[in-house]
Amino acid sequence: MMDTALIRKNQAARDIGARDLNLCEVWNRGDFLHICFSSVGCRFRETGYCTMCDYGGGRAITAEEAVSQLKKALEETAGPVREILLGTCGSILDEREMAPPVLDAVLEMVRSSGVPTVILETHYTTVTPQVLKHLQVALPDQEVVLELGFESADSWVLEHSLCKYMDLDALAETVSLIRSFGMAAVLNVFLGAPFLTPERQIQDALDSIAWAIAHGASRAVIFPANIKPNTLLGQLYQENSYRRISHWMLIELLSHLDDGLLGRVELAWYGDRQEAGRAREAIPPESCPACHRKLMDFYEAFIADFDPRRRQELLTDLCGGPVCSCRGAFLRELDEERRDGGR
């Protein structure tokens, strides 16, 4: 049962009209390439789901356009591509967003490119045995990863904060199904859910990362809250009903992960795109001039090395330096909340 009042607020905050989108958006970091193809938009945006999310909607891309854009992106990437992430405005395996002939053309292009790892971003309900078998045949020599939206393992947070329906039992079964085909599943975790205190935001993400790994995900991708236009989260922020999260909240979260989990998390949308002059309409976590550069350097080193010991060293080095004003303010707020919670 979803929170109908929250759904109505989401619908009121969101313009679902079609827009002129680029045929694809390309993001490259080292040997990682992310390509998001234009589509009619996620089917759940019209129903009022997802407080924090809106990637828009335009027209579906044709096979010729998709192959041309993909080829161009691969050719313009400096150095070899080790991982390629393919997505749309919602779910690449949703036939409403990408027709099967278009998907087949994209998969054939990726197969012939020889990129070792292919990641497909999609909703868990679009994953079936038939789809997985098709992917197995289309990409016989590449590692296939399904990246699934998840956000939280807390049913209250899903319903009343993120406005996202998720059958967690069905999600766990889907992860198991993916693994049975020799593929990997990655689950996305949201940090900064609205209507929660900072301590609860951190704990929710901690619990969700642990749930993801315990239920078979190879990794969990942490998405710190980016405040986007055309979302209820953006409206709440404008009304001073939601506070932009601190970068130090993400650091606090990472600091609480044990080695078994620390080596199995990735980071996304932590401000790297804005740093490169992209996605300027989205507001990433905040920092101050004293810590911003060292945080960006930390993230770059962190995502490049999955060894938990090295990651612990990076965290120790980052947190062992002088306490800047924004970190001090965040830690004081957290301490006050913890003291109040202990009364």
User: What digits encode the pLDDT tens for the residues 28-86?
Assistant: 999 999 999 999 999 998 888 999 998 888 899 999 999 999 999 999 998 999 999 99
Q: How far is CA 120 from CA 91, 109, 215, 327, in A?
A: 8, 14, 19, 36
CA atoms within 13 A on the CB side of 74: 20
Flag whether 197 is in a domain. yes
Q: Across residues 304-326, what is the average pLDDT?
A: 97
CATH number at 63 reads 3.20.20.70
Q: What percent of the chain has pLDDT over 70?
A: 98
Domains in the chain, number: 1
Flag whether 9 is in a domain. yes
Strands 265-267 and 143-151: unpaired
179 vs 111: CA distance, rounded Å: 20
Q: What percent of the chain has pLDDT over 90?
A: 85
Flag whether 339 is in a domain. no
318 vs 290: CA distance, rounded Å: 12
Flag whether 306 is in a domain. no
Flag whether 56 is in a domain. yes
Among 181, 205, 191, CA closest to 130: 181
pLDDT at 69: 97
DSSP 91-158: -TT-TTTS-HHHHHHHHHHHHHHT-SEEEEEE-GGG--HHHHHHHHHHSTTSEEEEEEEEE-S-HHII
Flag whether 319 is in a domain. no
pLDDT digits (tens, 9 = 90+) for 113-144: 999 999 999 999 999 999 999 999 999 999 99
pLDDT surpassing 50 at residue 14: yes
Flag whether 323 is in a domain. no
Flag whether 335 is in a domain. no
* Domain, as residue range, for 260: 4-284
pLDDT at 278: 85
